[in-house]
Amino acid sequence: MRKFVLLSAVILILAFAGVAGAQTGMNITSGTFLCNFQVNADGFGMSCLPYVAPEQTATATPLPLPTNTPEPTSTPLPLPTPTNTPHAMDMTDMTWHAPGVSHGDRPAHEHGDAPPQFVLDFMGASSVDQAMLFTHAGNTPGENMLNYKHTAFKGWYGEWRVASGLVKWYGVFHLDTNPAGHTSRFHSYQLWVQDPTGNTSHFEGWVDFGTGNMTGPQKIVTCGVDSGIRPIMLVNQQGCNVRFENWYARASGSGAWAPDFGFNINPTYFDIGSGDPLNVSDWRQIGGSPRNVDRRLEWAWYPNRSNQRGAFWATQFGQVVSGQNDPICSQVTTVGGKSYNNICLAQYIAPTLPEVSFNTVLSGGRNSQQRTFPVGNGVVFPN
């Protein structure tokens, strides 16, 4: 089993966006789709028509609706103090800790699930406090600096049964469901998957919530309904009925060899409107305590989309390179009005990894899981 250097680390997973690998020095392109839902015997079906011709399409995955939670009525807690000075980080900023803990300028928060033993083994860590999950090679710029950035790292452990046996998985996802996070097209992910043979695969990169040459995500502000547009970052308008915030990534947006992801999150903030998304005092809370402990995740991996297996390197956008010293690794990729230094990340896909999708997972929720994560002694905004 491979060991990594420690610093390397509502409603559907949408498979409707066009595939466009990130090319060095070039813009990322994709398609935008409008989807209609139909009820069928298995749950919800869905069909989509493109606004622009896609480069590639995949099959829709019908899934159940997430369960929303009534809005809390308690007295709102104060927002964290905005600051332009990054907190001086220590190991507490980099590793998982129990829920409800505050440290430095980070108010009490939770990071979801602790990494399981098979992830520690893969990383070469002897304990949870040695597994550097939140500061890693694949971070987006400044992703673990400001307090509302750090608190957004969420660990997630699950087990799903497929025909060949039990698949165990653990992911770390940067889900800053707040006005600042709503401006970012890319958010980092790490995913470890132990297949029924005991082999562990590891994926790392940036999840893409935009399309075409957008600088930011494809953000849609809703008044209680789903727009049906994918990919999407669906945000609640103040004064409307509150629904789960939907983050559906562009299918194959992190590479054809990589998993697809979709998230539904009980929202903590309304859309920023005309306010400044980087000014925390402009943020508008929903209710009296963070609701984003209620989260739903769906992910899928399709072996027939790519023959990439074993150990290899790829940029954060999913472009496979010859190794960490490939010239592409020191070049720049421009997306919309932003330019990003390429980061080349080590990947590993075990040849024994089976398809993980709605069609292959036999567990009750198929390839999705919704949970309310524990808060320990309590969490406060922004969590």
The kind and range of the H/E element at 41 are none
Please tell me the predicted confidence (pLDDT) of residue 93. 86
Give the Cα separation of 6 and 17 in Å (integer).
Answer: 33
Integer angstrom CA distances of residue 166 from 51, 350, 356, 359, 363: 40, 15, 11, 15, 10
Please tell me the predicted confidence (pLDDT) of residue 320. 98
Q: Where are the domains of the chain?
A: 33-67+101-372
Integer angstrom CA distances of residue 284 from 236, 278, 291: 11, 12, 13
- Per residue in 353-370, is it b (16+ CB within 10 Å) or e — as a string? bbbbbbebbeeeebbbbb
Residue pair 379/99 in contact (Cβ under 8 Å)? The answer is yes
Coil/strand/helix, residue 305: helix
For 204, counting Cβ atoms within 10 Å of its Cβ (0-12 exposed, 13-18 middle, 19+ buried), the class is buried
Residue pair 320/308 in contact (Cβ under 8 Å)? The answer is yes
What residue type is 274 in one-letter code? S
Please tell me the predicted confidence (pLDDT) of residue 259. 98
The pTM score is 0.79
CB atoms within 10 A of CB 371: 15
Sign of CA dihedral 162, 165, 166, 172: negative
**Tokens 């749950």 sit at which residue?**
43
Residue pair 172/9 in contact (Cβ under 8 Å)? The answer is yes
pLDDT of the chain along its 383 residues, tens only?
443 333 333 333 333 333 333 333 334 434 444 444 343 344 434 444 443 333 333 333 333 444 443 333 333 333 333 333 444 456 688 899 999 999 999 999 999 999 999 999 999 999 999 998 998 899 999 998 999 999 999 999 999 999 999 999 999 999 999 999 999 999 999 999 999 999 999 999 999 999 999 999 999 999 999 888 899 999 999 999 999 999 999 999 999 999 999 999 999 999 999 999 999 999 999 999 999 999 999 999 999 999 999 999 999 999 999 999 999 999 999 999 999 999 999 999 999 999 999 999 998 999 999 999 999 999 999 99
Q: Which tokens go with 337?
A: 């009005």
